[in-house]
Structure 1
């Protein structure tokens, strides 16, 4: 899974990262930009970046099979 942390005080957000790195960056942001304020905001949860193209691969294979079937004589 990938996580994006959003600041509750401003428009800052982290990149899509693993949970520990995203949390670390949010804490560092609060320390720099909002000292004395406990980290808040919300966390967006998404798919792993490694799996983001899975449906494109399936669609590509289906398209190739369709082309191959159309090219075969009946």
Structure 2
């Protein structure tokens, strides 16, 4: 699942990343821009874009399977 972390001090937000990478990016932001303040804010959890890539992969695999079946049926007498 993709997550986007929002800063509790300013308008900064991370891009859609995995949970671990998003947390790391927010900590880096706080260290750079809000030194001495513990990281706060909120997390936006979504299905996009990581799940979208999996869905596209499944659709492509299904299309390839249908193409193989159609080709095989076309060769039968």
Q: CA 1:50–1:34 in 2, change beyond 3 Å: closer, same or farther?
A: closer
Give me the CA root mean square deviation: 2.1
* Aligned residue runs from structure 1 range 1-74, under 5 A: 1-52=1-52, 54=55
Structure 2, gaps ≥5 residues long: 60-77
> In the comparison of the two structures, how many residue pairs are matched?
57
Runs of 4+ in 1 over 3 A off after TM superposition: none
Q: CA 1:35–1:2 in 2, change beyond 3 Å: closer, same or farther?
A: same
Q: What is the TM-score when the length of structure 1 is the normalising length?
A: 0.68
C-alpha distance in 2 between matches for 1:18 and 1:52? 14
Structure 1, gaps ≥5 residues long: 58-74
Q: What is the TM-score when the length of structure 2 is the normalising length?
A: 0.65
Query: What are the superposed Cα offsets for residues 2-27 of structure 1, whole Å, 9 maximum, x if unpaired?
Result: 00000000000000000000000000
